[in-house]
Copies of this chain bind each other. A is one copy, B any other.
Amino acid sequence: MEDPASKYFSCSSQERAIFEAGIKLGSIYHQYTGIPINESNVDLLERAIERAVKVQPFVEEVNIKIDRNKVGKNQSSYKYKTLTGDMLNVSLTINYEGSRVEGSMHYVEEMDYPLMTFRVIK
């Protein structure tokens, strides 16, 4: 696929893949947190997020894991929670014209923060 947006960029394909990884991770956090969740829909929700992320350009692979321990514990009397960033484990691969980058998000305990990071795949 030729990229119709290429004229709006002046960068290497590796830099572009890094940028696209950032976009997808930021999008996931802010789009899906807040969705009601308990044991009954956690599997389906993981699959639905994965498939929606794959709709976006240059996404080769995506894996979403929601932490069952956090879904399950501290249940309110209203018996469900809403999805939060610290429950999310995301791994995705961007392929931009052959340059591949793996982006990921996971909760880092010592920072108390859902950290987004990436690595270039050689």
Contact = CB atoms under 8 A, between A and B. Distances in A.
A31 B34 CA distance: 7
A68 interface: no
A117 to B, nearest CB: 5
A77 B112 contact: yes
A83 to B, nearest CB: 9
A41 B27 contact: no
Contact of A48 (B28, B41, B84, B108): B41
A16 to B, nearest CB: 9
A69 interface: no
Name the residue in A9, A21, A118 with the highest tally of chain B Cβ atoms < 10 Å from its Cβ.
Answer: A118
Contact of A38 (B27, B38, B44, B55): B55
